[in-house]
Amino acid sequence: MLEIKNLCVSYGSVRALDEVNLRMAAGGLLHGIIGPNGAGKSTLMDAITGCARPTRGTVRMNGVDLTRRPVAWRRRHGMSRSFQRTSIFPGLTVREQLELVASQLGERDLRGIVLALDLGAVYERQADSIAYGDQRRVDIALALIGHPQLILLDEPAAGLSTAETVSLFDHLSTLTAQRGVSAIVVEHDVDAVFRFCAQITALDLGRVLVTGTPAEVRADARVIAAYLGSAA
């Protein structure tokens, strides 16, 4: 479904992405992206979603070249990413906020998303007044609206406790399987990544060290040296 070829992004003299190749099949899989700080994980998410301009390479989804398409075009054609902040419309309730986006994108199963993400209890609350962990699930709900084929989440569990992180990934893997939407997730909690992701790509210095199953990536000498260290 997603095919990335020779993708490069530079910021001045910094090569944030250096000839990245990645393939991902359709059908409700979780694909984790790991790597040390500055490895290029966020830049990869930005380049896939159209928020960063590649200097070279292509991003294709279902055979269609998206490399130069604007963010909004990708959103309408099945690719979405989580919002950095929940309260994009300050003063709205969770329901009002989700319904607004749902009406724009023709979502007919908002209730299914809300139930699957356990957002019923906060549905009528102001989005900016709910607990941080609930806000992270609202972010995911927003990304799921409109039946995307692929969602990209950059550190969706940042700031959550270990238990909250496991719960978030639990929700995510159930939802992606149920709705047939695949997800690319950047995450520093390697236990969660190894437990929930079917495929993992490890990045370092803008390059792919390896893409493989959790067992393959965990055992990879380059990944251990660059990132996992003794934690593996």
Ligand X SMILES: Nc1ncnc2c1ncn2[C@@H]1O[C@H](COP(=O)(O)OP(=O)(O)OP(=O)(O)O)[C@@H](O)[C@H]1O
Nearer residue to ligand X within complex by CB, 83 or 123: 83
Query: 41 or 171, CB closer to Mg ion?
Result: 41
β-pairing, 79-81 with 14-24?
Answer: unpaired
Beta carbons of 96 and 141 less than 8 angstroms apart:
no
Choose, by CB under 6 A, the member of 4, 16, 151, 175 that binds ligand X: 16
Q: Is 37 in the site for ligand X (CB under 6 A)?
A: yes
Binding flag, residue 67, Mg ion (CB under 5 A): no
Q: Cβ 99 to ligand X, closest distance in Å?
A: 32
Closest approach of Cβ 135 to ligand X, in Å? Answer: 19
Residues 9-48 close enough to bind Mg ion by CB under 5 A: 41-42
Of 37 and 230, CB closest to ligand X = 37
187 closest CA partner among 171, 207, 202, 206: 202
| Binds ligand X (CB under 6 A): choice among 2, 4, 24, 40 | 40
Q: Which is nearer to ligand X, 37 or 63 (CB)?
A: 37
Site size for Mg ion (CB under 5 A): 2
Q: How many residues bind ligand X (CB under 6 A)?
A: 11
Distances (CA, A) of 116 to 95, 111, 200: 15, 8, 25
